[in-house]
Copies of this chain bind each other. A is one copy, B any other.
């Protein structure tokens, strides 16, 4: 049952020429879109190739099979997410008011949802194959770890075990909410963003404001 090595290299061939790189880029983009909108199984390799303006053969020159393509989409999305969050979690982030940071995080998450098809693809194709769940799990766990770290500074009094649960709840709450949000149309999505921020603020306030009594 053990999942095989993590070190499956996702790319069969690494493109060196400019044109190839662009082609690969397009394939990944189109694939992410397809996986996100139609689901893994419903997305057809031929259609992805066509949509990307290439031949099916070219797709398979980069990716050994459909799952490898999905994996590449997933990894690339995680890379992107990681970078996005790293930018917001610089050492001096702690000095900013926590409410501001929460808002920032929600907006960042929201941007991922809106702008990164790969993210939606990952979120939406979890239960299909164990293998893919790993990538997703890993991503959200990573977010949870980062959040946990912040909490450990903001609310040092909070018990370690509970802090972990709180971090999980915050991250997954936001993620789940956004999944729902994107399905609800742009208008309500925007309205929801503010409420999500408010919900997280109110949820965390009692513990995070314990030191310095800030208003909700």
- Residues of A at the B interface (CB closer than 8 Å) are 36-42, 120, 124-129, 133, 137, 140, 165-166, 168-169, 172-173, 175-177, 179-181, 183-184, 188, 191-192, 195-196, 198-199, 202-203, 205-206, 216
Contacts and interface: CB of A to CB of B under 8 A. Distances in A.
What does DSSP make chain A's interface, helix, strand, loop or mixed?
A: helix
A168 B184 contact: yes
B188 A180 contact: no
B133 A183 contact: yes
B177 A169 contact: yes
A171 to B, nearest CB: 8
B198 A203 contact: yes
Contacts of A180: 140, 168, 172, 175-176
Contacts of A206: 202, 216
Residue among A41, A125, A133, A173 with most chain B CB within 10 A: A173
B127 A126 contact: no
Residue among A127, A166, A183, A205 with most chain B CB within 10 A: A127
A169 B192 contact: yes
